[in-house]
């Protein structure tokens, strides 16, 4: 479930507002998106995939985490390398190689 929109990273490009299939975000008064309908979040990670500055973080759980959770601590998520992890794997972002080009899974056992 979406837990973080980091105002320090956000460039107010509106991408997350547009791409979210369930319209979780509204544009805030300062242009930074606000999580207006968290209970509509389906934990699909699309907003993170499209965010050009890794300002968003979707926790891996389908229910909201407690206020003190590490999934709401942007500094810790950055230090642990979790922030922006989906874009890194997809290879989305300047200078990266598209993940699809090397996405070869194992042969399935019979």
Partner 1 sequence: MTSTEPEQALSTDVLVIGGGPAGTWAAIKAAQAGADVVLADKGYTGASGATASVGTGIWYVDDVPELREAAMASREALGGFLADRDWMARVLDETHARMDELARTQRYPFPVDVHGRQLRGDLQGPEYMRRQRTRVQRLGVRILDHTPALELLTDADGVISGARALDRTTGETVRIEAGAVVLAAGGCAFKSKTLGCDVNTGDGALLAVEAGAQLSGMEFSNAYAIAPKGTSLTKTAYYSWATFYRADGSLLEGAASKGGRSAIARTLLTESVYARFDRATPDEQRAMRKGQPNTFLVFDRLGIDPFTDLFEITLLAEGTVRGTGGVRIAGRDCSTDVPGLYAAGDTATRELICGGFTGGGSHNAAWAASSGSWAGRGAAAFATGRGRPGRAVRPVGTAGLRPTGAVNLGHREVVTAVQREVLPYDRNYLRHADRLEPALRSLHETWSAVREGLGASGEELFRAREAAAMVAHGRWMYHAALQRTESRGMHKRADRLAQDPAQHHRLLTGGLDEVWSRPEAVQRQLVASGGRAA
Contact with partner 1 (CB under 8 A): which of 19, 32, 34, 64?
19
Q: Which of residues 42-101 bind partner 1 (CB under 8 A)?
A: 42-46, 49-50, 59-63, 71, 82, 85-86, 89-90, 92, 98-101
Taking the least distance from each CB to partner 1, the nearer of 68 and 105 is 105
Considering CB under 8 A, how many residues would be counted as binding partner 1?
37
How many angstroms separate the CA atoms of 57 and 107, rounded? 32
Shortest CB 18 distance to partner 1, Å = 6
CA distance 22 to 49: 15
Residue partners of 97: CB distance under 8 A and separation at least 6: 91
Burial 61-89, CB ≥16 within 10 A → b, else e: eeebeeeeeebbebeebeeeeebbebbee
**Residues making contact with partner 1 (CB under 8 A):** 18-23, 40, 42-46, 49-50, 59-63, 71, 82, 85-86, 89-90, 92, 98-106, 108-109
């Amino acid at each position: 479930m979406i837990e973080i929109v980091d105002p320090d990273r956000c460039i107010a490009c509106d991408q997350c507002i547009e791409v979210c299939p369930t319209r979780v975000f509204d544009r805030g008064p300062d242009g930074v998106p606000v999580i207006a309908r968290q209970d509509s979040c389906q934990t699909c990670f699309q907003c993170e995939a499209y965010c050009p500055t890794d300002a968003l973080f979707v926790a891996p759980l389908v229910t909201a985490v407690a206020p003190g959770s590490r999934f709401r601590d942007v500094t810790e998520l950055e230090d642990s390398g979790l922030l922006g992890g989906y874009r890194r794997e997809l290879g989305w972002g300047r200078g990266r190689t598209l993940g699809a080009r090397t996405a070869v899974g194992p042969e399935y056992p019979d």
